[in-house]
Amino acid sequence: MRSYLILGKSIKRVEAEDKVTGRAKYTGDYNIVGLLHAEMLTSIYAHAEITNVDISKASNVKGVKAILTGRNYPYLTGSVIEDRPIIAIDRVRYYGEPVAVVVADTRANAKMAANLIVVEYKPLPVVNSPHEALKPNGPILHERLMEYRRLGEEAYPEPNSNIANRTKIRKGNMDRGWRESEVIIENQVSLPQSDHAAMETRTARAEFLPSGDVIISSSTQGPFFVRKEISRTFNIPIGKVVVTTTLVGGAYGGKTNVQLEHIVYLCSKAVGGKPVELVNSREEDMISSPVHIGLNGVVKLGCTKEGVLKAAEILYLFDGGAYSDRAVIITRAAGIDCTGPYRIPNVWCDSVCVYTNHPYATAFRGFGHGELTFAIERAMDMLAEKLGIDSLSLRIINALHTGDTSPTQVLLDGSFGNLTKCINRVSELMNWNERGPVVTEKNKVKAKGAACFWKTTSMPTDSQSEVIITFNEDGSVNLNSGVVEIGQGTKTGLAQIVAEKMKMDINKIHVYLPVNTRISPYDWKTAASRGTFMAGRAAIRASEDAIEQLKKIASIVLRSTEDELEVSGGRVFLKTNPIVGVDIKDIAMGYIYPNGNAIGGQIIGVGRNISNLTSKMNAESGRGRPGTEWTLGAQIVEIEIDLQNYHYKIRKAASVIDVGKVINYMAAKGQVIGGMAMGLSLASREEFLFDSRGEIKNDSLRTYPLLRYGENPEYIVDFIETPQINGPYGARGVGEHGVIGMLAALADALSRAVGVSLNRLPLVPEVIWRAVEEGKK
- Residues forming the site for other proteins (CB under 8 A): 39, 107-108, 111-112, 114-115, 281, 283, 644-645, 647, 684-685, 689, 697-698, 700, 702-703, 705, 708, 710-711, 762-766, 769-770
Nearer to other proteins, 606 or 772 (CB): 772
| CA separation, residue 63 to residues 140, 246, 275, 579, 592 (Å) | 41, 29, 15, 71, 61
Q: Phi then psi for 593, rounded to 5 degrees?
A: -75, 160
CB of 63 to other proteins, least distance (A): 12
Answer yes or no: are the C-beta atoms of 291 and 327 closer than 8 Å.
no
Of 98 and 302, nearer to other proteins (C-beta) is 98
3-state secondary structure of 331: helix
Least distance to other proteins, CB of residue 65, Å: 16
Q: How far is the CB of 706 from other proteins (least distance, A)?
A: 8
* Distant-in-sequence contacts of 30-36, Cβ < 8 A, 24+ apart: 30/217, 32/205, 32/275, 32/277, 34/274, 34/275, 35/205, 35/275, 35/276, 35/277, 36/65, 36/103, 36/104, 36/105, 36/267, 36/271, 36/274, 36/275, 36/276, 36/277
Q: For the chain, give the longest Cα–Cα distance.
A: 97
Nearer to other proteins among residue 160 and residue 644 (C-beta) = 644
Phi, psi of 542 (to 5 degrees): -65, -40
- Residue with smaller CB distance to other proteins, 37 or 171: 37
Read off the amino acid at residue 621: S
- C-beta of 144 vs 442, nearer to other proteins: 442
**CB 40 within 8 Å of CB 114:** yes
Find the shortest distance in angstroms from Cβ 279 to other proteins: 9
Minimum distance from CB of 465 to other proteins (Å)?
38
Asked if residue 439 lies in contact with residue 447, where contact means CB atoms within 8 angstroms, the answer is no
Instruction: Find the shortest distance in angstroms from Cβ 764 to other proteins.
Output: 4
Find the shortest distance in angstroms from Cβ 214 to other proteins.
27
Q: Distance between CA 206 and CA 209 in Å, rounded?
A: 10
Q: Which residues of 337-347 are buried (b: 16+ CB within 10 A; e: fewer)?
A: bbbbbbbbbbb
Give 165 or 684: the residue with its C-beta nearer to other proteins: 684
Taking the complex as a whole, the smallest distance from the CB of residue 369 to other proteins amounts, in Å, to 24
Q: Which of residues 7 and 102 has its CB atom nearest to other proteins in the complex?
A: 102
Angle among Cα 321, 324, 326 to the nearest 5 degrees reads: 110
User: What pairs with residue 183 in β-bridges?
Assistant: 303
Beta carbons within 10 angstroms of residue 83's beta carbon: 27
Count each helix (H run) and each strand (E run) in the chain, helices first. 17, 32
Q: Which is nearer to other proteins, 313 or 699 (CB)?
A: 699
Residue with Cβ nearer other proteins (65 or 685): 685
> CA 359, 362, 365 angle in degrees (round to 5)?
125
Minimum CB separation of residue 35 from other proteins in Å reads 15
* Least gap, CB of 591 to other proteins (angstroms): 59
Nearest residue (CB) to other proteins, 114 versus 243: 114
DSSP three-state, residue 548: helix
